[in-house]
Amino acid sequence: MFLFRDILAFRNRASALGFLLLTLAGIAHSQTLQGDWQGTLSAPNGNLPLVFHLGSLGSGTVDSPAQQFSAPLQYSVSGNKVTITVPSVSGTYAATVNGNQMSGTWTQNGQNAPLTLTKGGAPAANGGGGNTTGLQGDWKGTLSAPNGNLPLVFHLDSTGGGTVDSPAQQFSAPLQYSAVGNQVTITVPSVSGTYAATVNGNQMKGTWTQNGQSLSLTVTK
């Protein structure tokens, strides 16, 4: 015979198990979303290609290649509903997933626009659709800043993350990066810096943008 406390304990275990199953289901669903989702936003001033790189743990980056812009994102999943937020531009994408396609609405600055994304697309520089494995390693270069040359080292790992070092300043900061074709975008949120570059073998050439200023930068692996 169950005592009252046993019934409560049973209910608590059942509730905990239900919560765990729901949590695991959400994790499993988010794992199936990991990858590159590409689409074109019909903006008032013209079409704008976008690439959403969804990583693990509900995070990633979004690239706007035409604007040479990249920003961190966060996403959540509930059933077949996905919500992606891009805090730096006050943007939100609410969509319904159907296989390798998402259809929904992009909302920014009080305006709404329909947006459909498809998973996969153009291969990255290393031959994987947005896969950043071939970019792993240390990329070194020198930024010609107004107050003198500044050596930089970008340490890129296998998950789209890493760090950037500025030895002369004794400074290091986390970074995020993504690849679309031979185009690579590296963002360093703590200094509001972005490096948009083209990869050619063991060399990247592009532009470092920070505080509204742009400087050319070449890094070598």
Q: Is residue 11 part of a domain?
A: no
pLDDT of residue 220: 94
DSSP annotation of 3 reads -
Name the domain boundary from 119, 141, 174: 119
Contact criterion met (CB below 8 Å) for 95 and 117: yes
Boundary-marking domain end, from 72, 87, 119: 119
Closest to 52 in 3D by CA, of 116, 136, 134, 96: 116
Cα separation of 160 and 170, whole Å?
24
Residue 142 has a pLDDT of 93
In a domain, 86, yes or no: yes
Q: What is the tens place of the pLDDT at every residue in 176-210? A: 888 877 888 898 888 888 898 888 889 999 998 88
Average pLDDT, the chain: 77
Indicate the pLDDT class of residue 133, thresholds 50, 70 and 90. low
SS3 of 113, please? Answer: strand
Give the C-alpha distances (Å, rounded to integers) separating 67 from 11, 17, 47, 50.
Answer: 54, 47, 12, 10
Residue 25 has pLDDT above 80, yes or no: no
DSSP SS3 for 66? helix
Structure tokens at 210: 């920070």
Q: Which of 92, 119, 146 is the last residue of a domain?
A: 119
Is 127 among the domain residues? no
Kindly state whether residues 114 and 39 are assigned to the same domain.
yes
Residue scoring higher pLDDT (101 or 7): 101
Alpha helices in the chain (DSSP H): 4-33
The pLDDT of residue 6 is above 50: no
Q: How far is CA 54 from CA 1, 39, 139, in A?
A: 51, 14, 24
Do 153 and 215 fall within a single domain? yes
What pLDDT is stored for residue 132 in this prediction? 56
Residue 88 structural domain: 32-119
Closest to 59 (Cα-Cα) out of 152, 159, 154, 147: 159
Mean pLDDT value of segment 73-99: 91
- CATH code of the domain in which 73 resides: 2.40.128.120
Within-domain flag for 106:
yes
Same-domain status, 140 and 200:
yes
Tell me the C-alpha distance between 173 and 164, whole Å: 6
pLDDT at 83: 94
Res. 122: pLDDT tops 80: no
Residue 181 backbone zone (phi > 0: left; psi -120 to 50: alpha; other: beta): left
- The domain total for the chain is 2
Structural domain contains residue 13: no
Q: What is the pLDDT of residues 46-64, one digit of tens each?
A: 788 888 988 877 888 888 8
Q: Which residue has the higher pLDDT, 158 or 18?
A: 158
Confidence of residue 140 (pLDDT cuts 50, 70, 90): very high
Torsion of Cα atoms, 189 then 117 then 46 then 200, to 10°:
60
Q: What is the pLDDT of residue 190?
A: 82
